[in-house]
């Protein structure tokens, strides 16, 4: 088979990229098929105002994904397919559900700069310092490098039949990927961090494989995510949301709003609401039947949260992982496809809320090509 490995530089090539930069790539492969689920983003990291021995941490379940705040995926033929805000949080939520800390020592995790503790990830991102043997003075720093698999539509193709992982350029046209980089206050945390702690990325590139186009174009399903953000600031919260997608479930996590923009605190906290009285999800199912799911304890809420990842994790999520990783979330598996674009999706939350919290919701969808 004529398998080709492609390397694509950003459309807007720069020496370095930093907070809020929009980095865009165009994947063009005329006359060929792209191998989905294998697209990777690679680059190198330079840290700013981070000393060798400072308390500098990065969420070890997020790793190098922490530099991405938003991902947009589109094609020349279909237009916009997926927009994911708070991307690093979703990566952390999913990773903490399906992995133990020891699992992050696998090679497929280490190349994304994930590891068994936040301090180790922070040290890895500092790079390797080369010292003079006599004076112990740092003469050179070898920047840390990463290669990560973005958690986006074309890396979440449902494989049902042989060949489903290959997508013809005739069907999609060029694939366009756009990454907005995270602000400096959000990518790391620790007592050594300050308002001047920052980062820059360089040599960014997308890697992907293609094979010759055999003329066959099977229907392919992409798993997508639609993200929404709300504020919970009272003991009783009622939300009515418009979700423009056909979905299989929803997963959400909370964080105290006071942590936002604080460089000393993790931006990926999954806060547990004390004294949960009730949680209800309200919507019409695929048979247009009005459904109410009522949850009355944190134990039940956590179980439903794990089940909400059923379509995207091959049932790898476990309560043991959630407890070990000090994670928590709310969610629901819809047990089928539900079109939420023509209705309101309701959430009723009755719990003790000691201070305002941000609620980050990710609706799992399906896009057919």
- The confidence score (pLDDT) of residue 41 equals 98
Q: What pLDDT score was predicted for residue 59?
A: 97
How far, in Å, CA of 262 to CA of 193, rounded?
9
Backbone CA torsion sign across 101, 104, 110, 114:
negative
Cα distances (Å, whole numbers) of residue 313 to 215, 219, 230, 339: 31, 22, 25, 22
Query: How crowded is residue 262: how many other Cβ atoms within 10 Å of its Cβ?
Result: 14
Provide the pLDDT for residue 258: 94
Name the residue among 286, 160, 179 with its Cα closest to residue 223: 160
75-89, 190-204, 308-322: least confident range: 308-322
pLDDT for 314: 61
Tokens of 329: 């979330």
Compute the distance between CA of residue 89 and CA of residue 251 in angstroms, rounded to an integer: 11
Banded pLDDT at 360 (limits 50, 70, 90): very high
Nearest residue to 225 via CA among 247, 196, 205: 247
Q: Taking Cα atoms as reference points, which of 39, 37, 8 lies closest to residue 24?
A: 8
**Which residues are 281's β-sheet partners?**
293, 347
Q: How much is the average pLDDT of 213-233?
A: 92
Question: Alpha-carbon distance 200 to 71, whole Å?
Answer: 18
Q: How many beta carbons lie within 10 A of that of residue 17, not counting itself?
A: 22
Let me know how long the chain is: 369
Residue 30 CB burial class (10 angstroms; 0-12, 13-18, ≥19) = exposed
What rounded mean pLDDT belongs to the chain?
92
Domains and CATH numbers, the chain: 4-212 (3.90.249.10), 221-368 (2.60.120.730)
Residue 278 pLDDT > 70: yes
Mean pLDDT, residues 242-262: 94
Higher pLDDT, 198 or 52: 198
Number of neighbours of residue 41 by Cβ within 10 angstroms: 25
Question: For residues 66 and 188, what is the distance between their CA atoms, to the nearest angstrom?
Answer: 8
- SS3 breakdown of the chain: % helix, strand, coil, rounded to 5? 15, 40, 40
Confidence of residue 288 (pLDDT cuts 50, 70, 90): low
Characterize 225-254 residue by residue with b for buried, 16 or more Cβ atoms within 10 angstroms of its Cβ, and e for exposed.
bbbbebebeeeebebebebebbbbbbbbbb
Question: Is pLDDT of 137 > 80?
Answer: no
Question: Which residues are CB-contacts of 299 (< 8 A; sequence separation ≥ 6)?
Answer: none
- pLDDT reported for residue 298: 86
Q: Does the pLDDT at position 310 exceed 90?
A: no
The predicted structure's pLDDT at residue 60: 97
Contact 45, 205 (CB under 8 A): no
pTM of structure? 0.93
Strands 345-351 and 236-241: antiparallel
Reported as half-sphere exposure (CB side, CA atoms, 13 A), residue 70 has a value of 14
Task: Inform me whether the pLDDT recorded for 187 exceeds 90.
Answer: yes
DSSP string, 251-294: EEEEEEGGGTT-TTS-TT--PPPSSEEEEEEEEE-TTS-EEEEE
């Amino acid at each position: 088979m004529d398998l080709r490995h492609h390397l694509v530089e950003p459309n807007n090539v720069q020496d370095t990229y930093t907070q809020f930069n929009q980095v865009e790539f165009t994947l063009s492969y005329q006359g060929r098929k792209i191998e989905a689920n294998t697209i990777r983003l690679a680059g190198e990291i330079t840290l700013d105002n981070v000393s060798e021995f400072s308390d500098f941490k990065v969420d070890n379940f997020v790793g190098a994904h922490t530099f991405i705040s938003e991902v947009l995926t589109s094609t020349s033929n279909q237009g916009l397919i997926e927009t994911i805000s708070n991307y690093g949080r979703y990566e952390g939520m999913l990773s903490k559900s399906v992995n133990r800390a020891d699992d992050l020592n696998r090679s497929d995790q280490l190349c994304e700069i994930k590891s068994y503790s936040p301090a180790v990830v922070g040290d890895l991102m500092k790079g390797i310092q080369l010292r003079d043997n006599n004076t112990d003075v740092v003469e050179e720093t070898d920047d840390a490098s990463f290669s990560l698999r973005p958690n986006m539509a074309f890396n979440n193709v449902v494989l049902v039949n042989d060949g489903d992982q290959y997508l013809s350029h005739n069907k999609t046209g060029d694939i366009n990927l756009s990454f907005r980089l995270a602000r400096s206050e959000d990518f790391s945390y620790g007592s050594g961090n300050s308002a001047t702690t920052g980062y820059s990325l360089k040599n960014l590139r997308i890697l992907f494989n293609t094979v010759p186009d055999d003329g066959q174009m099977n229907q392919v399903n992409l798993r997508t995510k639609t993200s929404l953000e709300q504020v919970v600031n009272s003991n009783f919260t009622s939300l009515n949301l418009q979700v423009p997608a056909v979905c299989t479930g929803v997963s959400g996590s909370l964080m105290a709003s006071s942590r936002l923009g604080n460089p000393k605190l993790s931006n990926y906290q999954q806060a547990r609401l004390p004294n949960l009285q009730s949680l209800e999800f309200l919507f019409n199912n695929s048979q247009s039947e009005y459904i109410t799911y009522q949850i009355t304890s944190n134990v039940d809420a956590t179980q439903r949260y794990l089940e909400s990842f059923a379509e995207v994790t091959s049932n790898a999520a476990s309560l043991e992982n959630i407890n070990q990783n000090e994670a928590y979330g709310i969610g629901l598996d819809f047990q089928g496809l539900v079109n939420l674009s023509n209705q309101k999706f309701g959430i009723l939350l009755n719990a003790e809320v000691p201070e305002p919290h941000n609620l980050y919701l990710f609706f799992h969808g399906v896009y057919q090509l």
